[in-house]
Amino acid sequence: MQPVSSISGQRLRWFMMAMLVWWLAAAVYLLAWPKAAGYLQLRAAVGHPWADGLFIWLTHAGDGLMAIALIVLFFLLKKRSLAFVLLVAYAGSGLLAQVLKVVVAAPRPRAYFEGLGQQLQAVAGVDLLRSATSFPSGHTATAFALAASLVLLHPWWNRHWWLAALLAVLVGFSRIHLGQHFLADVWVGSMLGVAAAWAGYAWLRRWQPRWAA
């Protein structure tokens, strides 16, 4: 597989630096605030009327349908390397997320706060899930998997790595704002997504299959 000439390694490094800053900032916040208080503070951080609609729209970027649509699109456009990495990133991060959900069995915010005798306020038009499948966030894993894959292999997104990083973080924050996940769920989900994208890219670079030329 020949490298795409307009893919900049420097921009990849900037993207990963942005990821490290995000992970470090989230870790500091998690250590600084108790779970319930920290969560409620994050939900209250964006209180403008437009925020609910924005985050409802943004959260769909982490849907499996979005990932599948992009995989099919790039396959039809004969961008097979990108389609492959997207597939590995989406499937790999999704599988790991589902396994962890079953193993950890952490309650979602609604169930967690009900256990504390509190009622979590829902965003209009959003049903608050109460299952024990909070950790980690699958939507966030998908969003970061897509962002990292695009920065790795798509020239436009590589040039606009900051936009890919920003959108992925906003999708993760949407899961908190909409009352479906805690910050820890989003934090780990983002790690799964980026790691899966790099795994798919490394596999492609290592074996260089003919169909990816």
Q: What is the pLDDT of residues 169-185, one digit of tens each?
A: 999 999 999 999 999 99
Percent share of the chain, pLDDT over 90: 86
Helix runs in 78-178, H state only: 80-104, 109-115, 138-153, 155-159, 161-177
Does 113 fall in a domain?
A: yes
Q: 212 pLDDT band (50/70/90 cuts)?
A: low
Does 1 fall in a domain?
A: no
Does 6 fall in a domain?
A: no
Q: What is the predicted pLDDT for the residue at 73? A: 97
Q: Buried (b) or exposed (e) across 13-51, using 16+ Cβ within 10 A?
A: eebbebbeebeeebeeeeeeeeeeebbbebbeeeeeeee
DSSP letter for 129, please.
P
Give the tens place of pLDDT for each residue, 53-82. 999 999 999 999 999 999 999 999 999 999
Mean pLDDT of 1-9: 61
Q: Any idea what the CATH number is for the domain that residue 71 is in? A: 1.20.144
Mean pLDDT of 86-93: 97
Does 123 fall in a domain?
A: yes
Provide the token pair at 3: 């490298």
Q: 208 pLDDT band (50/70/90 cuts)?
A: confident
Does 97 fall in a domain?
A: yes
Does 104 fall in a domain?
A: yes
* Of 60, 68, 200, residue with least CA distance to 140: 60
Percent share of the chain, pLDDT over 70: 95
Q: How many domains would you assign to the chain?
A: 1
Domain, as residue range, for 116: 12-41+49-212
Does 140 fall in a domain?
A: yes
DSSP SS3 for 119: coil
User: Does the reported pTM lie above 0.75?
Assistant: yes
Does 3 fall in a domain?
A: no
